[in-house]
Structure 1
Amino acid sequence: MRVAMASEAAGRPGRTNEDFTGAVPTAAVLVDGAGIPGTESLCRHGVAWYASRLGGTLLALLSLAPGRSLPALLADAIEQVTDAHRDTCDVTNRLSPSAAVAILRLSDGLVEYLVLGDAYVVLDRADGPPLVVSDPREVVISRSYEPALKTATAGSDEYNKILSDLRSNRNHPGGFWVAKDDPRAAQEAVTGNCPASGLTPAGAALLSNGASGIVDRFGLTDWPGVMAVLASSGPDEILRRVRQAEAQYAVAADDATIAHCTGFGQAPRAGRMRAGGVIAGAAEGGR
């Protein structure tokens, strides 16, 4: 399996990239960190640390335990990262760092996938339209809070209270699920598989919600169009179009990340670096 990656921070002053992506020869991981600026009293490490630590731990587990299920590996990763800062940070606080996660793994002729939170996995099938895997629960619930958030001043007590109320739905039955401090959330992920032989040469892609905006936010193309652009021009072109649309419509930019996976069933090549991660090597992540 070959993986091309691109990751770009939102570019706002004082912000680092809170996305992570990385790969090993048979798997790719994307982590989209989430949190509120100014909550260092809850977690001294921050969102970028959490996303990078979770992504790196997942890559290690995918390499060391290829036979275990993806939810089991994600649960172990969440537990390990939580243990790493449980003694220094308020890991259970609803405002402490969390993340959406997408995983893709090639195993015994199957392409396995997992999505937890508002990330995407897209598989370009030869016998039909792309299979688009998403977890819409957070988006559906978050939309009900959008009117109140728009009228509140970002960073104010009122704004943070609204976000706190929103996050009370997180990792709760009837709410939505993300990677945070509870490994049981991994069992709520959307999972599945398809034959590797059933994919086109365009392969598959993992996208953070900042990158998926090319379809679900701005409507610049559809998912077949995304896979066509990835096949012809690579993930950098998707990010360029997203940034262009954000500027055109004067909307807040978001960190945007894509991992484009191809060459299923072929022998892995030597590792090479791309923005946001490493192929067949130690991951490099964080916003």
Structure 2
Amino acid sequence: MRVAMVSAAARAGRVNEDFAGAVPMAAVLVDGAGIPGAGALCRHGVVWYAARLGGSLLSLLAVRPDTGLRTLLAQAIGQVTDDHRDTCDVAARLSPSAAVAVLRVSGGRADYLVLGDATVVLDRAAGTPLVVNDSREVVISRSYLPALAAAGADTDEYRRVLADLRSHRNEPGGFWVAKDDPRAADEALTGSCPVAELTSAALLSNGAARIVDEFALAGWPEIVAGLASNGPAAIIHRVRQAEASRAATADDATIVHCTELGGR
């Protein structure tokens, strides 16, 4: 499997909270999330959490190629939680969390996993791409947007509404991310398809996928074609142009593009 990765921080001088990595037959993308000023809860921070979770998951993928992806993610969450359980308030709602996307190629199959607002795109040789994303957070957040806009940023009411939104995280009927509880991995979206049916695959953070999902400036077939012809950097450049033209707040953007899935 050949892998090309591009990751760009939201803006110059800002630390990138995404992580991307690969081992010979698997790729991982972790989109870290946290709240500024939450250092009292976790002294390590979001960047550490995302990198630690991604590194643990890659190590497990390398040594346990036949273990289910949900099981491996649960083990990785458990490992990272144990790494800072004694120094940080890992269960606090504002402590670091992450969305996760995984692709593994083994035994002629391509296995995938999505937890949180990341996206996996499988380019099928026949037919339209298979797009796997978890819309639960987007759906729940949508109902809070009017109240957040009315409250105004940095007000007590804004913080109250935001806290109410976050109360749905990792709760039944809510949305799910990697955080401190390995059982969240049970909620991940998973699947598998024959490698022979695929020409490529891509993992995208929500900051990259927004060119389709939020800005509606391209469809997934166009994105797949663009990755094949110009690579992931060109897609992220388009995202930055769209953010600038719409005066939208920029986000970290990461794409992992996997080709030659069968080793050809």
TM-score by length of 2: 0.97
Q: Does 1:19 align with 2:14?
A: no
**Which residue in 2 is equivalent to 1:235?**
232
Matches of 1:165 and 1:64 in 2, distance apart?
40
- Report Cα offsets for 1:72-96 as digits up to 9, x if no partner: 0000000000111111111111111
Query: Structure 1 residues 157, 47: CA separation in 2 closer, same or farther (over 3 Å shift)?
Result: farther
How far did 1:12 drift? 6.2
Matches within 5 A, 1:20-99: 20-99=19-98
**Amino acid in the other structure paired with 2:210:** G
- Report Cα offsets for 1:13-66 as digits up to 9, x if no partner: 5x3100000000000000001111111111111111111110011011101111
**Which residue in 1 is equivalent to 2:99?**
100
**Amino acid in the other structure paired with 2:188:** A
**Which residue in 1 is equivalent to 2:262?**
265
**Amino acid in the other structure paired with 1:208:** S
- Report Cα offsets for 1:127-156 as digits up to 9, x if no partner: 210000011111100111112222344444
Matches of 1:46 and 1:169 in 2, distance apart?
22
Give the count of matched residue pairs: 264
**Which residue in 2 is equivalent to 1:118?**
117
Matches of 2:157 and 2:35 in 1, distance apart?
13
Query: Structure 1 residues 64, 98: CA separation in 2 closer, same or farther (over 3 Å shift)?
Result: same
Q: Does 1:253 align with 2:232?
A: no
**Which residue in 1 is equivalent to 2:221?**
224
Check the 8 A contact 1:71/1:189 in 2, yes or no: yes
Check the 8 A contact 1:205/1:259 in 2, yes or no: yes
Unaligned runs of 5+ in 2: none
Please say which of residues 96-105 and 148-157 is displaced more in the overlay. 148-157
Unaligned runs of 5+ in 1: 268-287
- Report Cα offsets for 1:221-250 as digits up to 9, x if no partner: 100000000000000000000000000000
Q: Which has the higher contact order (CA 8 A, sep 6+)?
A: 1
How far did 1:264 drift? 1.1
How far did 1:166 drift? 1.1
Q: Does 1:142 align with 2:150?
A: no
**Amino acid in the other structure paired with 1:263:** E
In structure 2, which of residues 205, 208, 211 is the aligned counterpart of residue 211 of structure 1?
208
**Amino acid in the other structure paired with 2:9:** A
Matches of 2:201 and 2:109 in 1, distance apart?
13
- Report Cα offsets for 1:191-214 as digits up to 9, x if no partner: 0011000012xx000000000011
The 3-state SS of whatever aligns with 2:251 is: coil
**Which residue in 2 is equivalent to 1:281?**
none
In structure 2, which of residues 241, 244, 251 is the aligned counterpart of residue 244 of structure 1?
241
Matches of 1:247 and 1:211 in 2, distance apart?
14
TM-score by length of 1: 0.89
How far did 1:160 drift? 3.0
The 3-state SS of whatever aligns with 1:240 is: helix
Check the 8 A contact 1:95/1:164 in 2, yes or no: no
The sequence identity of aligned pairs, in percent, is: 69
**Amino acid in the other structure paired with 1:6:** V
Matches of 2:23 and 2:4 in 1, distance apart?
12
Q: Which runs of 4+ in 1 moved over 6 A?
A: none
- Give RMSD over aligned pairs: 1.2
Matches of 2:257 and 2:91 in 1, distance apart?
34
Please say which of residues 256-265 and 151-160 is displaced more in the overlay. 151-160
